[in-house]
Amino acid sequence: MSQIETPKNASPKRLLVIDDEENMRHMLSMLLKKSGYSVDTAEDGSIGLEKINENQYDFILCDLKMPKCDGMEFLRASRKQTNETTIIMMSAFGTIDSALEAMKLGAYDFISKPFKADEVLLTLKKAEERESLKRENLQLKTQLKNIEANYNFGNMVAKSKAMQDIFTLAAKVAQYNTTVLITGESGTGKELIAKGIHYSGDRVKKPLIAVNCGGIPENLLESELFGHVKGAFTGADRNKKGLFEEANTGTLFLDEIGELPLSLQVKLLRVLQEDEIRPVGDSRTMKIDVRIIAATSKNLQEEVKNGNFREDLFYRLNVMPIKLPTLRERREDIPILCQIFIEEFNRRFSKNINGIAPAAMLMLLHNPWPGNVRELENAIERAVVLAEDTILVQENFPQAFETGPIGKKEDEIFTGFSLKDAQKVFEKRLIVKALKETNGNRTQAAKLLEISHPSLLSKIKAYEVLL
């Protein structure tokens, strides 16, 4: 029989057992006292209500069917007093409807009688872990508010020294009309830094125009940047402002500047030197006042050596270089970023995710994240969509697990695009893996998987897992 260990010097958790059967009260009282709980008992819901008015309990085990005041009546009557208490219902006559009703009234879980001692202890252990996660989550939210107040830049939040140094540099740069070159791997937040620089400087009320230099066909890019006059080429039936003119007195963010064709690099260099542009098909030039912030995931010095990027343009752009670290170089920011993304997707999907289980967070901290913050954001979004509980667990992050033989990709395991089908595939793999690890011990496997024993049995049956 497994027991829940109480930390040394810690006060025992207070627990109330409400059940009209004396044998059940006695059995649970002995079991739970042996496992380190301080236990009171009540023979029906009305006495249970008297008990909670006199004492504060961490957990309540309450039978559903009782004389005088049954479990549902107790739940309804005790809602105000038991906000901080975890209530677990018990019944030999339980149905899905009654379980759902109990959950709506504030119950944490529902155990069907007869049950094994391990089931009660495992359910309480999971409840304690949930309460611990809720406390950690509240602490993290408080920490996040402090970080947002003191350790942010634009829409970016971080506490790592690497990013704090970036924020400090970017804040200084924002006060001067100097050209900035932001470098870093894809997904590190180059555009967010560019926006932060613009909105922290004197041009905050002026336009910020962004363009991806690799996202526009070469034959259209010149017109897009500098504009054109009517009749400049076939289809030019009117004058058109370019992005430089639209950004006049503001900031132009040239993303993926390393993709700019050589023919346009010359013209961009002239703009930087002369502060003037000439629309396609026009003989006149136009003075402009535009701050340039460029970004690239390429190594421009290597591109210069290979003849793909002009050296003179590189030095014109590289006045104030800002190199963003990868996510794997600042892993201490991962918990904070996860919390930010969870709150964002809670709002977007009307979910109520409270945090991430320790085992899942450990996995996230050790992931290499080649796609950096953007990949982490996508992983959290998928996990929030897949989650069936209020805590994200390892099985909600299927893309981070082994998917069979080395080199075998996810799309070789299942076909189609259904997230539900994908979840079933990975859940079955994890269940098999946990059962192998525990030599078929389903109780231990449930602990590894961080799900209840009944839930594991249900999944074993649904997925036809052979033991």
- The full set of domain ranges for the chain reads 14-115, 136-148+331-462, 161-324
- Write down the architecture of domain 14-115 according to CATH: 3-Layer(aba) Sandwich (3.40)
Domain 136-148+331-462: assigned CATH number: 1.10.8.60
The owner of tokens 């078929």 is 440
DSSP state of 10: P
Average pLDDT, the chain: 84
Reported as a single tens digit per residue, the pLDDT across 8-64 is 455 788 999 999 999 999 999 999 999 889 999 999 999 999 999 888 898 999 998
Reported as a single tens digit per residue, the pLDDT across 38-47 is 999 999 999 9
Residue 47, amino acid: I
Q: Report pLDDT for 170.
A: 94
* Cis status, amide bond into 454, omega within 30 of 0: no
- Say how far apart CA 125 and CA 129 lie, in whole Å: 6
DSSP state of 238: S
pLDDT band at 260 (very low <50, low <70, confident <90, very high): very high
Find residue 39's DSSP bridge partners.
15
Check if CATH label 3.30.450.20 holds for domain 161-324.
no
Q: Which of 85, 132, 89 minimizes the C-alpha distance to 109?
A: 89
- pLDDT at residue 460 greater than cutoff 70: yes
Axis-axis angle for helices 117-150, 22-34 (nearest 10): 60
The answer to whether the 14-115 and 161-324 domains have the same CATH topology is yes
DSSP state of 426: H
Residue 28, amino acid: L
- Say how far apart CA 154 and CA 193 lie, in whole Å: 7
Q: Report pLDDT for 400.
A: 54
